[in-house]
C-alpha cells in the first residue's frame, strides 16, 4: 500500500502549508487565487508526476511551530530541481511526487479555519493553566 501525505498551497506560490486554513492565512485573496490540495507520494520511484515537492519528514505538530515561509517546504515543476533542493537541505527533508492536485472550495477553507481556531483556543487555555499551576507551586 502506497503512503500518501497532503499539503496545501496557493496555486501561484511554491511554498507548502499543512492545511487549507494555514494557506489562506499566508495572504490569499479569495476570489483571485486558488488554494490547492496536493496529494504527495514520499520518496517516489522514477515515474511521471505533475509536480514534485520537498517536505519535512516530521510530525505535523513539530512542523506547525515553524512559520510557513521559514519551513522550506516547496513545490517544484522539475524532479531534478526538487532532488537537488532536498539533497542540499538534508535530513529531515524528503522528496515527494505530487500524485494529484485539486482546488479547495471556499467552504472547505472556512471549515478548516473554524477547526484551526478551536484547536488554537484549546492550546491557549492549556498553556494558561500550566502557567497558573507553576505560579501557584512557589
DSSP string, the chain: ----EEEEEETT--B-BSSHHHHHHTT--BTTB-EEEEEEEES--SS--SEEEEEE-S-HHHHHTS-HHHH--EEESSHHHHHHHHHHH-TTEEEEEEEEEEEPPHHHHHHHHHHHHHHHHHHHHHHHHHHHHHHHT-
Residue 13's pLDDT is what? 85
Q: Is residue 127 part of a domain?
A: no
For residue 134, is it within any domain? no
Task: Determine the pLDDT at residue 1.
Answer: 46
| 67 within a domain of the structure (yes/no) | yes
Q: For the chain, how many structural domains are there in total?
A: 1
Mean pLDDT by 10 residues, the chain (138 residues): 81 88 74 83 85 93 89 94 94 93 85 67 59 57
Answer yes or no: is 40 within a domain.
yes
pTM exceeds 0.85, yes or no: no
Domain presence at residue 136: no
- pLDDT reported for residue 57: 93
Residue 24: the pLDDT is: 82
* Residue 16 counted as domain residue: yes
Residue 77 belongs to some domain of the structure: yes
Q: Which domain holds residue 40?
A: 5-105
Predicted local distance difference test score (pLDDT) of residue 106: 81
Amino acid at each position: 500500500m502506497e503512503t500518501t501525505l497532503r499539503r496545501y498551497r496557493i496555486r501561484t506560490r511554491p511554498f507548502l502549508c499543512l492545511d487549507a486554513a494555514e494557506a489562506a492565512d499566508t495572504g490569499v485573496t479569495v476570489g483571485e487565487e486558488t488554494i490547492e490540495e496536493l496529494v504527495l507520494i514520499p520518496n517516489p520511484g522514477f515515474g511521471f508526476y505533475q509536480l514534485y515537492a520537498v517536505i519535512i519528514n516530521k510530525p505535523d505538530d513539530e512542523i506547525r511551530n515553524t512559520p510557513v515561509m521559514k519551513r522550506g517546504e516547496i513545490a517544484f515543476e522539475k524532479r531534478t530541481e526538487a532532488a537537488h533542493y532536498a539533497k542540499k537541505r538534508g535530513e529531515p527533508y524528503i522528496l515527494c511526487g505530487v500524485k494529484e492536485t485539486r482546488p479547495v472550495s471556499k467552504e472547505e477553507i472556512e471549515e478548516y479555519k473554524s477547526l484551526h481556531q478551536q484547536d488554537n483556543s484549546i492550546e491557549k487555555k492549556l498553556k494558561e493553566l500550566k502557567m497558573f499551576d507553576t505560579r501557584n507551586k512557589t
